Amino acid sequence: MHPEMSLVILTVFSTAGQGIFIFLVVMNSIVPESLSGSYIITAALASILFQFIGMGASFFHLGNPMKGWKAIMMWRNSWLSREVISLSAFVGAASLYLIIYITEMNKSILDIVGYAGIIMSIGFLIASSMVYASIGYIKEWANAFTPATFISLGLTCGAAFALAGFYLSCHHSEIYPKINLLLIAMTIFSFILKAMAYRFNANVYTSLSVSNAIGINDKHIKLMDRGTPYAHYNTKEYFHPITEDQSSIQKNLIMIVTFLIPLLIWMLIGLLLNINSHGAAFLAISGACVMLLGLLMERRFFFIQGNHFQNLYYGNYKKSSIDNPLVR
């Protein structure tokens, strides 16, 4: 599939922003004494800002952005509609959380609104990933790894920014090393999940061939003419030219930038540095930014990997390693 940057930015920034909010609410309800006021306001603002970056980018994807609000209409059928609704509801909940905190209202109300925001966030993470996982004609997307990696990577990136915020707020607490350990564990988990997803996609089974597509039972079918003298929507939207070597290089680069470099940074912070130092704060922010960059690369490659059934008609479908047993 063609990797459209607006969708890459939408999925990465909105999931990462929700990760920040989830951590903020959980920490604020479990260990509120460890958090400074400036941290809570900054984290809630950062989470909302990330949503606006994502939503803003998504408008560039639409042909008619002014009618974008209509996307809430078919929540019964469409995952895309559910994604839009849950994202809007989340922004509302996060904004309310911020307002309640600033106006110093009841702490229990703050927690209730926060947990309501988490529920909407989980709804968004599921809906956002199911937009892709529910397309059964792209085998690389239609599997359990899609929602699992979307949720896991979003939460991990959010946690990375949350940790950077903790360090920046310079509020002494014994909880920081524990959060650092949690972040390392989450990064390792996401790394394993993503590696498994890449392995799964490399061996995804599809017995389809152009023979099935045009309904003629013959092993030797060759496309002679695409029916168009020049590229058009169907040859551009569903296909991104990439060789096996380029694909392998990109995958390795993604694993290094998204997981290994941030992991090394957090290990360095945990083992060598005083977590209250400015150096640790700088490193933590660098780690979170590197992970965000890696996530953008990962999501771009997620689109490139998608191999749509309709490519069968244009001779662009990735060849299956297994021959169709029905074709003689």
CA–CA dist 91, 139 (Å, integer): 32
Residue in 37, 52, 60, 73 binding other proteins, rule: CB under 8 A: 73
Identify the bridge partners of residue 308 per DSSP, sorted by sequence position: 138
CA–CA dist 270, 288 (Å, integer): 15
Residue 204 interacting with other proteins (CB under 8 A): no
Residue 81 interacting with other proteins (CB under 8 A): yes
CA–CA dist 11, 5 (Å, integer): 10
Residue in 71, 162, 257, 269 binding other proteins, rule: CB under 8 A: 71
Q: What is the dihedral of CA 174, 175, 177, 179, to 10 degrees?
A: -170
Burial readout 114-123 (b: 16 or more C-beta within 10 A, e: otherwise): bbbbbebbeb
Residue 320 interacting with other proteins (CB under 8 A): no
Residue 323 interacting with other proteins (CB under 8 A): no
In the complex with other proteins, the residue whose CB is nearer, 22 or 84, is 84
Residue 291 interacting with other proteins (CB under 8 A): no
**DSSP-H helix ranges across 62-175:** 79-102, 107-133, 145-169
3-state secondary structure of 67: helix
DSSP state of 308: B
Give least dist CB 231 to other proteins, A: 7
Residue 322 interacting with other proteins (CB under 8 A): no
269 exposure class (CB count in 10 Å sphere: 0-12, 13-18, 19+): buried
CA–CA dist 146, 136 (Å, integer): 12
Give least dist CB 320 to other proteins, A: 13
Give least dist CB 58 to other proteins, A: 9
Binding span for other proteins by CB under 8 A among 133-141, 153-161, 173-181, 197-205: 133-141
Give least dist CB 62 to other proteins, A: 5
Give least dist CB 318 to other proteins, A: 15
In the complex with other proteins, the residue whose CB is nearer, 192 or 323, is 323
Residues 5-64, interacting with other proteins (CB under 8 A):
61-64
Residue 328 interacting with other proteins (CB under 8 A): no
The count of chain residues that interact with other proteins, using the rule CB under 8 A, is 57
Residue 159 interacting with other proteins (CB under 8 A): no
Residue 123 interacting with other proteins (CB under 8 A): no
In the complex with other proteins, the residue whose CB is nearer, 174 or 205, is 205
Q: What is the dihedral of CA 149, 125, 206, 301, to 10 degrees?
A: -60
Q: 298, 190 in Cβ contact below 8 A? A: no
Applying CB under 8 A, which residues contact other proteins? Answer: 1, 61-65, 67-68, 70-74, 77-81, 84, 131, 134-138, 208, 210, 212-216, 218, 220-234, 237-238, 308-314
